[in-house]
Homo-oligomer: A and B are copies of this chain.
Amino acid sequence: MTTAFPEQGPLRVVAQQARTAARTLRSLSTERKIAVLHALARELRARESQILEANAQDVAAAQAAGLGAAMVDRLRLTPAALHGIAADVEAVAGLSDPVGESTPEKLLPSGIRVSTRRVPLGVLGVIYESRPNVTVDVAALALMSGNAVILRGGKETVRSNTALEEAIQAALRAEGLPQEAVQVIRDPARERMLELLKLDDLVDAIIPRGGAALHRFCVENATVPVIVGGIGVVHLYLDGSFTQDPNDVRRAAEVVLNAKVQKPSACNALDTLLVDRAALTVLPQIAQSLAAQGVELRADPEALTCLSGAGLQAHPAQESDYGQEFLALTMSLKVVAGLDEALNFIAAHGNHTDVILTRDAAQAERFVQDVDSAAVMVNASPRFNDGGQLGLGAEVAISTQKLHARGPMGLRELTTTKWVVMGDGHTRA
C-alpha cells in the first residue's frame, strides 16, 4: 500500500519530516524568512539551464503522450517565465509577515491576562495540476508564512518539479534550514495522493488547486481539513438605474465585456448576466460588444426576443445554462423583474463573485447585504476577485467555502492563532 517511490520514503515519513521542519519554521524571524526567499530567487536564476532542461523533458514526454497543445503550453517554462517566477518570489519576500502578531492583552476578572498570537498553520498539503510555477509560488508563500509544505503536482511535471524542489531545498540548506520544509511528492500514483489526504495527525490543511473533480476527490476522501475553492458561478445584475445616462450604459458594456472576455478561463469570469426588465433597452448594445468578441449568448425567451428584434444572434438558454460555470466564451442571460428576483436567483446559484451595476445606493447596499458570496461587488468587474487585485500581494488559492478563509488566500490565511494566558499561580475557582 505504501510502497515507496524509489527516491523517496513512505509518505508518512515525508510528513513526519515536514512536521519536524515546521517546528523550526514557526519560530523563524521575518528577516530569516526574507533571506531564504532571496536565496531561492538566486538559486532559480543560477539553475536556469538545469530547470529548463528538466522542463523540456516534461514537454517532450507530454507531446509524445499526445497531450493537447493548451496543456503542453501550461507546463512549458521559458527563460522569461523562470525569471518572472524568481521575481514573484522576491515580491512575496516583500509582503508583511502576519506571524507573531498579538491581540492586546486583556486582564480578565479571574486575574489572568489573555491574548492570542498569530502562528503558522504548520504543515500544508497542496495538490495541483500541470503548471510548474505553482510549485515555486506555493513554496514561497508557505515559507514566508512559516509553514512546511508537501507539494503534489501533476504527473506531467515531475521532472520540472524535481528540479524546482532541488532549487528550493538548496536555498533552505544555504540558509541553515531543514530542506524537508518543502518536499515534492515524486510518485505520481493516485494512492500517494490518497495517503496524503488521510494523514490528519501530521498535516494541518489540504489546499487543492485545480478543477472541480480534483476538489471533489479531496472533499470526499480527505480526513485532513480541506480548503476548497476556485470554483463557482459568477453573476452580474444590471439594474435599470444604471442605464439612464449614456456614460453609464457605456460603462455597463465595458464592465460586462471585461467580466466575460478578459480571461474567460478564470473562475472569476462572468457566467450569467441578469438584466432588470427596466434595463432591457440597453441589452442590445451590451450584447453587440460581447458578440464582437465572439461570446456565445444563451438567453431566456424575453432576452431572446429583445436581441432578435435588434438583429442580434443568441441561443435559447436551457435550465442547465443557469448555475453553470462556463470557463469559456459562453454565457447565459436572463431578464428579471428587479432586484428581488435577482437576489433570489443568486441565492439559488451563487457563492463565488456577484456584481450589481446600479446608481441607486440603497439597491447597492441591499445587494451587498443579501448576497452571500466570497466577494460582492458594486459597479466593478468580478475579475477583481483575485489576491493581487484585492491587495493581498499574492494568493495561494481562492476559497469558496466559509470556514477559515473566504476568497483569495494570502499569507494571513496560511496562519492560525493560539491563546496565550499569563498568570501568577492562578487557579480556577
B108 touches A419 (CB 8 A): no
Bound complex: CA A402 to CA B406 (Å) = 16
Q: A379-B424, A379-B426, A380-B112 are in contact. Are A418 and B26 (CB under 8 A)?
A: no
Chain A stretch 334-385: residues in CB contact (< 8 A) with chain B: 347, 357, 368-370, 372-381, 383-385
Cβ-based interface call for A248 (8 A):
yes
Spot the interface stretch: A183-191, A250-258, A297-305: A250-258
CB neighbors of B among A217-238 (8 A)? 219-220, 223, 225-227
Given A23-B372, A225-B226, A385-B419, CB of A390 within 8 Å of CB of B119: no
Do the beta carbons of B421 and A391 come within 8 Å of each other? no
Taken together as a complex, chains A and B put the C-alpha atoms of A414 and B70 apart, in Å, by 42
Counting chain A residues whose Cβ lies within 8 A of the other chain, the interface size class is 35 or more
Asked whether A407 is an interface residue with its Cβ less than 8 Å from the other chain, the reply is: yes
Residue contact A384 to B122, C-beta cutoff 8 Å: no
Contact of A425 among B204, B254, B423 (CB under 8 A): B254
Q: Is A50 an interface residue (CB 8 A)?
A: no
When distances are taken between beta carbons in the complex, the residues of chain B under 8 Å from A114 are 390-391
A391-B106, A403-B121, A403-B227 as given contacts; A375 in contact with B418, CB under 8 Å: yes
Interchain CA distance A223-B422 in the complex, whole Å: 38
Q: Are B219 and A255 in contact (CB under 8 A)?
A: no
A376/B421 in contact, CB under 8 A: yes
Per DSSP, chain A at the interface is mixed
Contact for A384 among B23, B110, B119, B225, CB less than 8 A: B110
Interface assignment of A416: CB less than 8 Å from any CB of chain B: yes
Interchain CA distance A404-B413 in the complex, whole Å: 9
A377 and B423 within 8 A (CB): yes
Chain B residue nearest to A242 (CB atoms) is B425
A200 at the interface (CB under 8 A from B): yes
**A205 within 8 Å of B (CB atoms):** yes
Chain B residues in 8 Å Cβ range of A368: 117, 420
A417 in the interface (beta carbon within 8 A): yes
Say yes or no: is A308 at the interface (Cβ < 8 Å to chain B): no
Q: Which residues on B sit within 8 Å (CB–CB) of A357? A: 425
Closest residue to A221 on the B side, CB-wise? Answer: B223
Q: Is the CB of A369 within 8 A of B27?
A: yes
Q: Does A401 contact B (CB under 8 A)?
A: yes
Q: Can you list 11 A-B pairs with a CB-CB distance of less than 8 A?
A: A27-B370, A110-B384, A110-B389, A204-B403, A252-B425, A258-B427, A378-B420, A378-B422, A378-B423, A379-B425, A381-B427
